């Protein structure tokens, strides 16, 4: 039987792509759709708003009501709205896939607390390619001892958080592989007379422009050579498909905290 999904942030760039991915997946069905209070799309049908088909559940601003017949919730609203809705998600009592990025440490802890009550997938990037890249980056960092690690990410000009959640996950993977503490070694900006690069620095730089769905490159600079590991998302469909895969996987899991590596069977 199809897994029934409620999409929170239904009118967003990701929400619409997730609606289309659900529409095209015979193992999934949309059981509810929510956007913020005052949104123009309230009262519209999900698939029509997404431009992928006719009908679909009516978009409301009431999570508990919209999620009541769902097996799984998918939330792609942003760190702040997700954080503000955590108590409602606890009340709803459903497994939840969270794709929002940019959580502070405190907000992340609150998400972890929710996972004591319901199963939670929290992943800053739902694509198979990025999650494989995370493994490659960790391994490269382990093998390339002493190489300078730098990371550049590029996203569209509407993105609100920086660096991207994916960039931070890649930086974490590199730090782990190299045996470094990311918080102690991350450098987010360079300007002026900054002196020589410290050997353990992990530079993380952000570009914003146009409609880029998401590009990430991790550089390992050595003497006389460098290795670059790049992931380019051509479209948001890769994240949306991953979110639906995560929802189908999570539907029958016990409460707890999961990530995309768990969903994809990479760990």
Residues making up the annotated binding site for (S)-2,3,4,5-tetrahydrodipicolinate are 156, 165-166
To the nearest whole angstrom, how small is the minimum distance from the Cβ of residue 176 to ligand NAD?
A: 20
* Apex 159 CA angle, 96 and 200, nearest 5: 90
81 interacts with ligand NAD by CB under 6 A: yes
To the nearest whole angstrom, how small is the minimum distance from the Cβ of residue 100 to ligand NAD?
A: 4
Active-site residue among 16, 155, 216, 231?
Answer: 155
Tokens 């920086």 — which residue? 162
Q: Minimal CB distance to ligand NAD: which residue?
A: 12
159 classed as catalytic: yes
99 interacts with ligand NAD by CB under 6 A: yes
Residues 35-54 that bind ligand NAD (CB under 6 A): 35-36, 39
Instruction: Considering the complex, state which of residue 167 and residue 178 has its C-beta at the smaller distance from ligand NAD.
Output: 167
Q: Please say whether the beta carbons of 233 and 215 come within 8 A.
A: yes
H or E stretch covering 153? strand 148-155
131 interacts with ligand NAD by CB under 6 A: no
Distance from C-alpha of 94 to C-alpha of 255, rounded to nearest angstrom = 10
Distance from C-alpha of 214 to C-alpha of 68, rounded to nearest angstrom = 34
Instruction: Considering the complex, state which of residue 128 and residue 182 has its C-beta at the smaller distance from ligand NAD.
Output: 128
Distance from C-alpha of 175 to C-alpha of 185, rounded to nearest angstrom = 9
125 interacts with ligand NAD by CB under 6 A: yes
Distance from C-alpha of 81 to C-alpha of 61, rounded to nearest angstrom = 12
Tokens 């992340």 — which residue? 108
To the nearest whole angstrom, how small is the minimum distance from the Cβ of residue 147 to ligand NAD?
A: 28
What Cα–Cα distance (Å) separates residue 5 from each residue in 30, 68, 114, 206?
5, 10, 19, 34
To the nearest whole angstrom, how small is the minimum distance from the Cβ of residue 129 to ligand NAD?
A: 11
163 interacts with ligand NAD by CB under 6 A: no
Residues 189-218 that bind ligand NAD (CB under 6 A): none
* Nearest CA-CA partner of 134 in 123, 145, 144: 123
13 interacts with ligand NAD by CB under 6 A: yes
List residues bridging with 220 in a β-sheet: 149, 227
Instruction: Considering the complex, state which of residue 13 and residue 201 has its C-beta at the smaller distance from ligand NAD.
Output: 13
Catalytic residues: 155, 159
Contacts to ligand NAD by CB under 6 A:
8-9, 11-15, 34-36, 39, 76-78, 81, 85, 99-102, 123-126, 161, 239
């Amino acid at each position: 039987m199809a897994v029934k999904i409620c999409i929170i942030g239904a009118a967003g760039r990701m929400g619409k792509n997730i609606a289309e991915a659900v529409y095209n997946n015979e193992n999934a069905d949309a059981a509810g759709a929510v956007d913020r209070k005052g949104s123009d799309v309230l009262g519209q049908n999900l698939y029509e708003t997404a431009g992928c088909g006719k009908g679909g559940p009516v978009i409301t601003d009431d999570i508990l009501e919209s999620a009541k017949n769902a097996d799984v919730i998918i939330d792609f609203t942003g760190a702040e709205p997700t954080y503000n809705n955590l108590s409602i998600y606890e009340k709803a009592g459903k497994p939840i896939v969270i794709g929002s990025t940019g959580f502070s440490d405190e907000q992340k802890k609150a998400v972890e607390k929710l996972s004591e009550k319901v199963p939670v997938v929290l992943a800053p990037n739902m694509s198979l390619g990025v999650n494989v890249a995370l493994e490659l980056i960790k391994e490269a960092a382990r093998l390339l001892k002493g190489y300078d690690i730098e990371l550049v990410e590029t996203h569209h000009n509407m993105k609100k958080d920086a660096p991207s959640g994916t960039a931070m996950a890649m930086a974490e993977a590199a730090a782990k592989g190299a045996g470094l503490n990311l918080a102690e070694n991350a450098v987010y900006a360079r300007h002026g007379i900054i002196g020589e690069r410290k050997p353990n620095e992990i530079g993380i730089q952000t570009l914003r422009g146009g409609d880029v769905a998401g590009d990430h490159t991790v550089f390992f600079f050595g003497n006389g050579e460098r290795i670059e590991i790049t992931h380019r998302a051509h479209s948001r469909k890769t994240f949306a498909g991953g979110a639906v895969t995560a929802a189908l996987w999570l539907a029958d899991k016990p409460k707890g905290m999961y990530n995309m590596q768990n969903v994809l069977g990479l760990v």
